[in-house]
Amino acid sequence: MSCYITACGAALPDRVVTNAELARWLEVTPEWIEANSGIRERRWAGAEQSTSDLAAAAVSDALNDAGMSAGQIDYLIGCTLSPDYQVPGIAPLVQRKLAGCRQVPAVDLRAGCAAMLYSLQLAGGLIAAGAANDIVCFGAEAQSKGLDLARRSAELSMLFGDGAGAVVVSREPRHGRGLPLEIKDVLIAADGNFAEDLTVRAPGTANGPRWFDAEQRAERLHHPAMNGRSVILHAVRKLADAAIEVTTRNGVSLDQIDLIIPHQANANLLRSLGNRLKVSEERIVVNVDRYGNTSGASAFLALWQAQRERRLRPGSHALILAFAAGFTWGAALCRVGQPPGQG
């Protein structure tokens, strides 16, 4: 695979929801939320703000970073668990909101919180096949609109925040605000045996004669549901295994990874992962304390933050990791490029 993440962008709703505010709805304490998640606050979309609004703003930010216009995009890959509509997908809606964007392919990719990794592999394949030169991948969520704000769902509803992130994946390196990242290798996998351990079941055709009805509403099938113990057990194992496999098969040791850029599931999970990989906390990007778990946007936002804070050193290696519903998971090994004039 030879292609580059050449720019990053982000968009976050203005509304900050603190643990104190959320704790009242969930009938827990703010301290309980922080102790169990590491989250202090998260952003929630406004009533009139859709996921595609956030996504379009993040893509525009990434294009600005790249010095590109929307007309230069060859392909759009959109990742979300909380789309504007069931049909059509979010990618065409974002395309419509990007002034000057041509009638290029615009496709949704549903791989939950691991969608960034899936989108990077797909983008790399499209570039290698000659189908595109500059591809925009984005992750965007407005999960807050689907949460069960009650004590029975506190362990899940405390986690989620809204936001969007985007990257430009290009055949050739170019320089935006940050350094280009060469995508050396992407490892992705899935195990559908655990598909029911993290779900939003409705609307859906596996629920009986109607894809959404009063009975499903009463059973709260339209809210996220999780077997938390199972998710955490598998997440820590699979993230660590993926990190080891993708580095080993490329002749890179974990000691040579300057920065791990993980999906921001939960601060305690990131700590557990760091312990298992024997990687110190300062080598792991964490923003879950400020933005919560933004699902499909999360890894995009973590990379955006790493670039913004200039935490990527020229010539170093970075590892993007994610685990998600499905279960799906993966790792992307990247090499950080040189500043302009030195590459």
Residues annotated as part of the active site: 113, 263, 293
Nearest distance from C-beta of residue 268 to another protein, angstroms: 5
Please, are residues 4 and 37 in contact by the beta-carbon 8 Å criterion? no
Nearest to another protein of 133, 230 (CB atom): 230
Beta pairing partners, 195: none
**Does position 236 bind another protein by CB under 8 A?**
yes
Nearest distance from C-beta of residue 234 to another protein, angstroms: 6
Please, are residues 320 and 303 in contact by the beta-carbon 8 Å criterion? yes
> Taking contact as CB under 8 A, which single stretch among the options 202-210, 214-222, 225-233, 316-324 is the one that binds another protein?
225-233
Residue 239's φ and ψ, nearest 5 degrees, are -65, -45
**Is the Cα torsion angle 278, 282, 287, 290 positive or negative in sign?**
positive
Buried b (16+ CB within 10 A) or exposed e, 106-124: bebbbbbbbbbbbbbbbbb
Which are the contacts of 58, defined by CB distance < 8 A and separation ≥ 6?
Answer: 9, 10, 11, 138, 140, 163, 164, 165, 166, 297, 300
Which are the contacts of 283, defined by CB distance < 8 A and separation ≥ 6?
Answer: 257, 258, 259, 260, 274
Choice from 208, 233, 248, 281 touching another protein (CB under 8 A): 233
Nearest to another protein of 22, 265 (CB atom): 265
Nearest to another protein of 191, 309 (CB atom): 191
Cα–Cα distance, 105 to 135 (Å, whole number) = 10
**Does position 268 bind another protein by CB under 8 A?**
yes
> Taking contact as CB under 8 A, which single stretch among the options 105-113, 135-143, 224-232, 290-298 is the one that binds another protein?
224-232
Token look-up 């591809």 returns 135
> Taking contact as CB under 8 A, which single stretch among the options 15-23, 257-265, 267-275, 286-294 is the one that binds another protein?
267-275
Beta pairing partners, 331: 187, 321
What track of x and - describes contact with another protein for positions 184 through 223 (by CB under 8 A)? -------x-x------------------------------
**Does position 269 bind another protein by CB under 8 A?**
yes
Q: 242 by DSSP, 3-state: which?
A: helix
**Does position 232 bind another protein by CB under 8 A?**
yes
Choice from 228, 245, 289, 316 touching another protein (CB under 8 A): 228
> Taking contact as CB under 8 A, which single stretch among the options 7-15, 167-175, 228-236, 242-250 is the one that binds another protein?
228-236
Question: Binders of another protein among 33-72, rule CB under 8 A?
Answer: none
**Does position 227 bind another protein by CB under 8 A?**
yes
Choice from 42, 43, 234, 311 touching another protein (CB under 8 A): 234
Residue 187 is encoded by which pair of tokens? Answer: 């490892």
Could you tell me which of 300, 304, 267, 307 has the C-alpha nearest to residue 113?
300
Nearest distance from C-beta of residue 158 to another protein, angstroms: 14
Longest dimension (CA), the chain: 63
Nearest distance from C-beta of residue 187 to another protein, angstroms: 16
Residues found near another protein in the complex (CB under 8 A): 191, 193, 227-230, 232-234, 236-237, 268-269, 272, 276
